[in-house]
Amino acid sequence: MRMTVEEVARAVSAKNDVSKYSDQVVTNAAFDSRRLKPGALFVPLTGKRDGHKYLPSARKNGAVASFWAADHPNPPKDFPIIVVDNPLKALQTLANYYRQKVNPKVVAITGSNGKTTTKDLTTAILSTKYRVTKTHASFNNAIGVPVTILSMNPDTQVLVVEMGMDNYGQLDKLSKIAEPDVALITMIGEAHIENLGSRAGIANAKMEITHGLKADGTFLFNGDEPLLQARAKKVSQKQLTFGDQHSNDIYPTQIKGYDTKTSFTVNRYPGKQFTIPIIGHYNVNNACAAMLIASLFSVSPEDMQKGLMNASLTQNRTEWMTGKKGEPVLSDVYNSNPSAARAVLKTFSATHTDGKRIAVLGDMLELGSDSKAMHASLAKDLDPKKIQSVYLVGTDMAALKAALADKYPTNAVHYYQADQLPQLTHDLEQELTSRDEVMLKASHGIHLEKVLAKITK
């Protein structure tokens, strides 16, 4: 991003005259006054705290201009201020303007599970041929998507944007800001079912990613999901599918799992083997989605091989780490829901170990009235012959503890409240040996990353 204050003001239809700052250039946009980069346009957001109060801090840390809500009194007179009705909406408007100015091809990715990994794999493949900007970490909401767009270098050729949601209307807005050339839904799970009522409601909300899809764009989705098959019929744009079923445009024909990577072949490229530096059958589907996107950009299968093998993946998504005793630790602590937890448990159960497999599972949040039953349902995915010890944390994990009573010895199931992470960590460290391996999976609100930090090097 590189724009003058005057250009920014025109783009967002500012309510004040900024012509005296016509030579002032902004090079990035930021909403956190503590972490902005020099040259920033500060965006004061109003939530639990009023961001306008932090403008002095933003200026101290290098901000060179700021939005200012018209209903806030006393804007500073010695600093480039751009007065707008709503700073967040102005940020979104500016992002849409800048996207049109740079004019990259836009790939938008959403889904209950796998959207971050698919984003990373897509970026890895496309980067073998194009200059790509992707969503940093999980900047995938109404604030993060505009910031991602504004972070593009002017020479960006492809923008890969991850889009998250927890209610209706959110993807509609994000899709219309980004106006994607390619829109992709990885899968429909149970995440945010508390807000959306059912998997059908989740599918309806996810389909909003197509609302800003360009008329000549392409809609990609998991063809194994009947909920998406039915809704895709209402989308007029070109469509391609991925998944396990042979009716899809791309599907795996053979999968070979290893402890730290997965190799596979697909129907579209017979005789070629692809490898991703991550485990799990479900991640092969994510790779197939990324390959399908890459095919739209005329990326060769050889470059797909290279990109997938060297992919740089976001932390804490099925990531292997090393414990303090040398034991392998499988970290997947960013988020969780029943379908994601089942997939990771299946993968973890098949890994090689000379000792015990130990699973640490925390509450899966926002599951609504059926939450306890959904937690208890994980009992069928836990086999004491494959996973010998289970640590559970959180209110609703008590239902899983009860469901495991007939499957596991009493001393093999350990239960903790969410505020007992220090005790969980202590007990886990007492049990672990260098021969064991451990996995951690929970919604981010349980903060298993604190346990992870204590048990890893």
Nearest residue to 358 (alpha-carbon basis) of 400, 387, 327: 387
Q: How far is CA 168 from the centre of its chain?
A: 18
Using CA atoms, how far apart are residues 256 and 345, in angstroms rounded to an integer? 17
Contact (CB, 8 A) for 448 and 440: yes
Nearest residue to 416 (alpha-carbon basis) of 391, 399, 445: 391
Is 116 assigned a ligand-binding role in the annotation? yes
Is 46 assigned a ligand-binding role in the annotation? no
Put residue 103 in one of left, alpha, beta given phi > 0 → left and psi -120 to 50 → alpha: left
Length of the chain: 457
Contact (CB, 8 A) for 64 and 26: yes
Using CA atoms, how far apart are residues 260 and 348, in angstroms rounded to an integer? 11
Reduce the secondary structure of 44-108 to three states and give it as a string: CCECCCEHHHHHHHHHHCCEEEEEEECCCCCCCCCCCEEEECCHHHHHHHHHHHHHHHHCCEEEE
Contact (CB, 8 A) for 182 and 217: yes
Is 113 assigned a ligand-binding role in the annotation? yes
Using CA atoms, how far apart are residues 317 and 281, in angstroms rounded to an integer? 14
Residues of the chain by 3-state class (helix, strand, coil), percent to 5? 40, 20, 40
Is 60 assigned a ligand-binding role in the annotation? no
Is 117 assigned a ligand-binding role in the annotation? yes
Using CA atoms, how far apart are residues 181 and 216, in angstroms rounded to an integer? 7
Contact (CB, 8 A) for 407 and 316: no
Using CA atoms, how far apart are residues 98 and 318, in angstroms rounded to an integer? 34
The tokens describing 350, both together, are 């098949």
The tokens describing 30, both together, are 């930021």
Is 326 assigned a ligand-binding role in the annotation? no
- What is the C-alpha radius of gyration for the chain, rounded to an integer number of angstroms? 24
Known binding residues for ATP: 111-117
Known binding residues: 111-117
